[in-house]
């Protein structure tokens, strides 16, 4: 006898459409719940595609950069220029 699908295997479910003010909304079943608080919604024909919007974090940006050389280039100091006092 086949086992029922696990939550990781569920990819399709019926969902209820309803009105939220002037907008149409969909109630997403728990097993298809998405992380975060925003999605990008795209329409292809009569199909709507929801893609989670992930916030970019500084540590992710820094991790994506190649490491710097250990030695920094020599920078020549410019001569001081006299300025009038305020």
Report yes or no on 21 lying in a domain. no
**Domain total for the chain?**
1
Report yes or no on 84 lying in a domain. no
Please tell me the pTM assigned to this model.
0.51
24 Cβ contact partners less than 8 Å away, ≥ 6 residues apart: 17, 18
* pLDDT, tens digit (0-9, with 9 covering 90-100), for 64-83: 988 877 787 888 999 988 88
* pLDDT, tens digit (0-9, with 9 covering 90-100), for 18-53: 999 999 999 999 989 998 889 999 999 999 999 998
Residue 18: beta bridge partners? Answer: 25
Report yes or no on 40 lying in a domain. yes
């Amino acid at each position: 006898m086949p086992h029922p699908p696990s939550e990781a295997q569920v990819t399709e479910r019926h969902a209820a459409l309803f009105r939220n003010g002037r907008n149409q909304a969909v109630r997403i079943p728990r097993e298809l719940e998405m992380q975060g608080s925003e999605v990008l919604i795209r329409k292809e024909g009569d199909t709507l595609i929801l893609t989670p919007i992930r916030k970019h974090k500084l540590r992710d940006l820094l991790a994506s950069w190649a490491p710097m050389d250990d030695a920094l280039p020599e920078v020549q100091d410019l001569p001081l220029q006299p300025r009038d006092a305020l």
